[in-house]
Structure 1
Amino acid sequence: MTTAAARFGAVAAVLVCAHHVGDYWTQTHRQALTKGRPGAEGHRACAAHVVTYTLGQAAALAAADRYLGLGVHWRRAAAGLAVSAATHYLVDRRSPLEAIANGIGKGEFYKVGAGHGCLGTGAAAMDQSWHLGWCTLAAAVVAGPGRR
């Protein structure tokens, strides 16, 4: 296995785990309720959530890099975290995710469980799978080939 491949595995695990902490532990209830609303209030709530989410990913990545000696270059880390943050913000505004779901023929799945007040909805599943997919791509950006 190459050094980049091993680094990718470690970074992906760190970003995915930090993603869950950021989405379920550090996000406030108000942010969760407000981030999809139109206008400045929704944009502010979503931005505040993404800032704390990204800071958590950055802290976890820095700790893993230091403890495990991953050799992550700060420019690659910044680029990967930017990918994670930008794609997280986009979908957490809610209407873009619904538009994407409708555009690819998944609109009915998106609506599964809607109105029942639970986390087990199609929208929630699509939201999380979107985030995890982009966390994985962000990890590839961070890991990059060769030691930096």
Structure 2
Amino acid sequence: MDAATFASVFIALYVGHSMGDHWVQTSHQSAHKGRPGWVGRLADARHVTTLTLTKLAVLIPAAALLGLHLSVPGVVVGLAVDAASHWWADRRTTLAWLARVTGKGEFYRLGAPRAGRDDNPHIGTGAYALDQSFHHLWLLVAALIIATA
């Protein structure tokens, strides 16, 4: 592996993640992916599918233009690991549990609306910050897998 390949892959995945998580994800997916049962599981699966395709749509041309030599199995495994971790975190109760057991429960709830009071006039919440940092960790893992396979 060379560091330039890893850095290029990570940047492409990071940009694809940002686009897929914020521009491509539908309002329905966002509102339903954390719901219990099959409604939530399927909404989350649809989100992760379009998110992964977005990452691939950014990675392929970047790799071609930069002359990166990536293996198909490496790309498949890297994106599969990333997709599984993203699906797990976006079920919401799972990430809330992880925050609670690691002592970050209070931060997770920071900025969340309280019953009868939406006193958070901006998008930033502790849950969102922990969600995105969790995803960034797994983007790093995926980039390492892709760049070293």
Does the alignment reach a TM-score above 0.5? yes
2:127 is the alignment partner of 1:123: yes
2:24 is the alignment partner of 1:20: no
2:47 is the alignment partner of 1:49: yes
Q: Return the alpha-carbon distance in structure 2 between the equivalents of residues 39 and 81 of structure 1.
A: 25
Shift of residue 77 of structure 1? 0.5
Gapped runs of 5+ residues in structure 2?
none
Shift of residue 67 of structure 1? 1.1
Alignment of 1:1-148 (within 5 A): 4-115=2-113, 116=118, 118-144=122-148
Q: Once superposed, which parts of structure 1, at least 4 consecutive aligned residues long, lie more than 6 Å away?
A: none
Q: Return the alpha-carbon distance in structure 2 between the equivalents of residues 11 and 80 of structure 1.
A: 11
Moved more, 113-122 or 123-132: 113-122
What root-mean-square deviation, in Å, do the aligned CA atoms of Structure 1 and Structure 2 show? Answer: 1.1
Shift of residue 4 of structure 1? 2.0
- TM-score by structure 1 length? 0.93
Q: Deviations over 1:84-117 (max 9, x none)?
A: 1000000000000000000100000000001145
Gapped runs of 5+ residues in structure 1?
none
Q: Return the alpha-carbon distance in structure 1 between the equivalents of residues 108 and 94 of structure 2.
A: 12
Amino acid at match of 1:93: R
Q: Return the alpha-carbon distance in structure 2 between the equivalents of residues 4 and 143 of structure 1.
A: 8
Shift of residue 53 of structure 1? 0.2
Identity of aligned residues (%): 45
Q: Return the alpha-carbon distance in structure 1 between the equivalents of residues 72 and 58 of structure 2.
A: 14
Q: Return the alpha-carbon distance in structure 2 between the equivalents of residues 29 and 44 of structure 1.
A: 14
Amino acid at match of 1:80: G
Q: Return the alpha-carbon distance in structure 1 between the equivalents of residues 85 and 110 of structure 2.
A: 23
Q: Deviations over 1:15-46 (max 9, x none)?
A: 01100000000000010000000011101100
Moved more, 116-125 or 66-75: 116-125
- TM-score by structure 2 length? 0.93
